[in-house]
């Protein structure tokens, strides 16, 4: 009985010490706990509010973009101007889409220089998605074939031709055409062969690549039975890599145009 009594006393003392310790800790650090709790609530409210604001902005931009599309579809509408005006005040993603449509309209109207400028504006917009920026680079490159050098286009597009790139085959096609135009037949053949070998190539792109390879092959060395190399008389290509020094431009060489653009 006495032992139980003592145990109860010790338990009460221990509980009292715990309460006193907790009270002392609260007296000392309670203000910080309250501050942290208030901060968490404030940050959470700010995040929720910001997300709601962004959602509202995106919804407004979506509606405005739809209205711009409807207006641009009207007969006699200045499509390029409509999309250019929309892009000025739109969020980055919608602005990029609008500028792509502006550039396409300018291309259709024959204003190639303005179209190139519009595409390059998207390509240089760090706020836009990479996939849209890359597409704009390729679209601009398509228009620049024959207007700038192969080496310039290679500097713009060569990084987009890798196996994991979304627009690799359109980029390869543009560079292949540019190389062919400057009689860089080896480089051109490499690009078109990569298109043929790529299982993701669309039938149209692959068919055009086959046609270009058929045009290129007479200009590149072919192995003979004695393992020597013989080059056709009209071959003037000595390039061995995709990026090479520019050869004189043959203005009589046929210029192949890209008829199937990546969307």
In whole angstroms, give the CA distance from residue 106 to residue 81. 9
* pTM for the structure as a whole: 0.65
Among the listed ranges 59-73, 142-156, 222-236, which one has the minimum average pLDDT value?
A: 222-236
- 117-146 mean pLDDT: 95
* Rama region for 232: left / alpha / beta (φ>0; ψ in -120 to 50; rest): beta
- Average pLDDT of the chain is 77
pLDDT-based confidence at residue 248 (cuts at 50, 70, 90): very low
**Tens digit of pLDDT for each residue in 25-80?**
556 555 655 666 666 766 666 666 656 655 665 667 677 788 888 888 888 889 99
Q: How far is CA 225 from CA 57, 162, 229, 230, in A?
A: 69, 35, 9, 11
């Amino acid at each position: 009985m006495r032992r139980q009594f003592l145990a109860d006393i010790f338990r009460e003392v221990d509980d009292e010490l715990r309460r006193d310790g907790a009270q002392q800790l609260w007296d000392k650090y309670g203000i910080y706990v309250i501050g942290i709790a208030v901060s968490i609530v404030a940050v959470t409210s700010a995040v929720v509010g910001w997300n709601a604001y962004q959602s509202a902005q995106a919804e407004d931009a979506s509606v405005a973009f739809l209205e711009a599309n409807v207006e641009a579809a009207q007969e006699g509408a200045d499509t390029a101007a409509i999309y250019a005006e929309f892009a000025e005040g739109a969020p980055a993603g919608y602005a990029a889409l609008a500028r792509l449509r502006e550039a396409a309209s300018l291309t259709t109207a024959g204003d190639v220089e303005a179209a190139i400028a519009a595409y390059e504006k998207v390509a240089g917009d760090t706020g836009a998605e990479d996939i849209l920026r890359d597409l704009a680079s390729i679209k601009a490159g398509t228009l620049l074939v024959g207007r700038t050098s192969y080496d310039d286009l290679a500097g713009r597009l060569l990084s987009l031709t890798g196996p994991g790139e979304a627009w690799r085959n359109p980029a390869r096609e543009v560079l292949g055409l540019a190389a062919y135009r400057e009689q860089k037949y080896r480089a051109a053949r490499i690009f078109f062969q990569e298109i043929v070998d790529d299982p993701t190539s669309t039938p149209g792109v692959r068919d055009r690549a086959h046609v270009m390879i058929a045009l290129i092959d007479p200009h590149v060395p072919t192995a003979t039975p004695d393992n020597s190399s013989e080059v056709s008389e009209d071959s003037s290509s000595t390039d061995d890599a995709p990026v090479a020094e520019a050869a004189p431009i043959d203005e009589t060489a046929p210029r192949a145009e890209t008829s199937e653009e990546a969307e």
